[in-house]
Amino acid sequence: MHKDHLITSENDIGIELEDSEELEKLKEAVDDRKKLIQALRGKPWPMRKKLTTLRESQEFLDRYEGALGKGKGRKLYAYKVMMNKKWMKFKRDLENFKTACIPWEMKIKEIESHFGSSVASYFIFLRWMYGINMILFGLTFGLVMVPEALMGRPYGSMPRKTVPRAEETSAMNFAVLWDFGGYAQYSVLFYGYYNSQRAIGWLKFRMPLSYFLVGVGMVAYSYMVVIRKMARNANETGGGDDNSFNFSWKMFTSWDYLIGNPETADNKFASITTSFKEAILEEQESRKDDNIHLTRFLRVLANFLVLCCLAGSGYLIYFVVRRSQKFALDGFENHTWWERNEVNMVMSLLGMFCPMLFDVISALENYHPRVALQWQLGRIFALFLGNLYTFIIALMDEINLKRKEEDVVQLNMTMWESSLYNESVSENSTAPPMFSHPGDVPRGPCWETMVGQEFVRLIISDTMTTYITLLIGDFLRAILVRFLNYCWCWDLEAGFPSYSEFDVSGNVLGLIFNQGMIWMGAFYAPCLPALNVLRLHVSMYLQCWAVMCCNVPQERVFKASGSNNFYMAMLLVILFLSTLPAIYTIVTIPPSFDCGPFSGKARMFDVIQETLESDFPAWFGKVFSYASNPGLVLPFMLLMVLAIYYLQSTSKSYKEANVELKKKLQMQNEENKKKNKRAALKAAMELEEARKASSSRATEQHYNLTHPDQNALLNAGDMIP
């Protein structure tokens, strides 16, 4: 509706509000103005006309909306209008506040505008992982570490909370603390420090139960949030096809006319340029025609080379872990720093150099960049997974050695207690209570703390390797290229070494496998979620700075997938594979006899049965035992599998129906375009014929005007009989 039909003066409407007819006209005019303001952005008008119409409509509403509240019986309407305005303003302010509260949103938008959606997807994924780890950190810190520190028995009160006498002199050395030994080992950071007392403090806090439930709850929450995110991404990508008129849409609808900041305008300009590069590459890849036989041969060769690399890395890790076990038997103090940290350093170096080798091999395959990224992610995923499980298998061997050592320690401890008792009791005397300093008491190896320490060291060494690689491989390289380019023999920026590109696949897999190690080791080292939160926080700022200062956009910029479900699928797989070793150790391996919240129990999960027997009525325990009976659990699981299969089949049929509907709509669209083209051609032909007829008539009239004598002779000749 044109604004001239809506601009109504006081004389047209009338302001005698006692007349109900005039009042209705005024209400209709006010409603029309509101609708016009809402639909103003979609009007094909010049910006000047839009601003003028918006200003006049707002003035009209300010003048007459309040007048509707005057008179008898109209105060309620005025109140509703006022509350509606305030509610709309509140919702607008709330949306602005929610947008402002999204962490690192502007940083990610800036990166996306310069490097494309593929690089930005990594930082979005990192931010999402940061949120998950904040929840995990809250669970471990609030329900495990803080209660033990505040309400548990203090340091030095019992052997598991005391540094052994032989280690006291070196317990504060930096090298010992860096390996998370000494006072760090005997603290709330690790499993072995926690007491097995059922209730601690004046709150009677159930520490063993809380420790077990937090460990299970972290895994359950992680499964829930990953699957929920995958379902949400799948729903978001279920829209229609956006490939029709792709370049036209980008050309005419990309710019945001509400931008008023020069820096934002520059970022938007760079973003539009990047999106055009992405679209052009998509079009080129869809039309590419290569030699299929040569391509297949090169891809088979590339996969063979990748398999060789994977097998070699797995053997290397197994070899160094076996060497590490020999060093442990000899005593780490008798070996060099490299031999003590050989396992962690080899795993970190393999994770750093093998992706580069895979990247070189992938050049043989000539895939689309998005497909090449997925292959690269899959290969690095296989590398990290093989390395991690090789490490776990070797760690299980070490756990078995620790358990054998624990049996020997238990026997020696029985003999030590007997000797201590015999020394303190003389003949024909009453036995005094035995007392010995906690640091002098023999203790077992506590395999749970050993497992937690290994994962913490692995996380720390991997983090340090990543940061050092970033500073040397990106920052120092960029400085050399930037300042030595003026005095070098060739162009360093265009040739070797040039500026580095951001490695999306390597960084994504690094995030996923670090998170897998957190899930795997958090049960034995409650400090791991806190360390990962700190690592992700630093990584966001450091990598955002590095990508903007030291990296250049990829030569082949491509559009990322509409969802990160490929990342999420790998995260779900690593979550499942990471929880298997932890669940295996919890269910099958007995806990250590003298450390941790489950000491003295046959299995760690016995704390559930103990809680049911002590804190709940007898009937509740019977109900729980019946509910956990395999005769009920297996049919319930079968029913769940059948329900999932039914829902999956229904979803598949819906997707097929949507695909068919899209095809029909596309066919109808093509048919409409053909009809429009035929109608346009027909109209053009008719217009051309009319133009020719008009041109011939004009020529004839011009000829008659310029040759009147010949026309008169012709007319006279016609009159002669």
pLDDT tens figures, 509-558: 788 888 988 998 999 999 999 999 999 999 999 999 998 888 876 655 44
Give the whole-angstrom CA distance, residue 130 versus residue 138: 12
Q: Are 402 and 381 in contact (CB under 8 A)?
A: no
For 620, the token pair is: 């509740």
Asked if residue 9 has pLDDT above 50, the reply is no
Asked if residue 95 has pLDDT above 80, the reply is yes
> Reduced to 3 DSSP states, what percent helix, strand and coil does the chain have, rounded to the nearest 5?
75, 0, 25
Instruction: From residue 654, give the alpha-carbon distance in Å to each of 2, 386, 401, 531, 644.
Output: 43, 38, 55, 44, 15
Region label for 14, one of left (φ > 0), alpha (ψ between -120 and 50) or beta (otherwise) = left
Instruction: From residue 693, give the alpha-carbon distance in Å to each of 686, 696, 699.
Output: 10, 5, 10
Element (H, E) at 501: strand 500-501
Instruction: From residue 621, give the alpha-carbon distance in Å to each of 16, 81, 625.
Output: 79, 60, 6
Asked if residue 409 has pLDDT above 90, the reply is no
Burial class (CB within 10 angstroms; exposed 0-12, middle 13-18, buried 19+) of 218: buried
The residues with which 200 forms a beta bridge, in sequence order, are: 205
Asked if residue 435 has pLDDT above 60, the reply is no
Higher pLDDT, 237 or 504: 504
**pTM metric for this prediction:** 0.73
Neighbours of 550 (CB within 10 A): 21
Question: Residue ranges per domain, the chain?
Answer: 3-101, 105-421+447-597, 649-719
Confidence of residue 308 (pLDDT cuts 50, 70, 90): confident
Give the whole-angstrom CA distance, residue 560 versus residue 555: 15
Higher pLDDT, 6 or 712: 712
* Amino acid 540: pLDDT: 93
pLDDT tens figures, 111-157: 877 777 778 888 998 999 999 999 999 999 999 999 999 998 888 88
Higher pLDDT, 259 or 455: 455
Nearest to 522 by CA among 579, 561, 473: 579
Residues in the chain: 721
Give the whole-angstrom CA distance, residue 222 versus residue 523: 14
Say which range, 21-30, 317-326, 702-711, has the weakest mean pLDDT. Answer: 702-711
Q: Are 219 and 519 in contact (CB under 8 A)?
A: yes
* Amino acid 613: pLDDT: 84
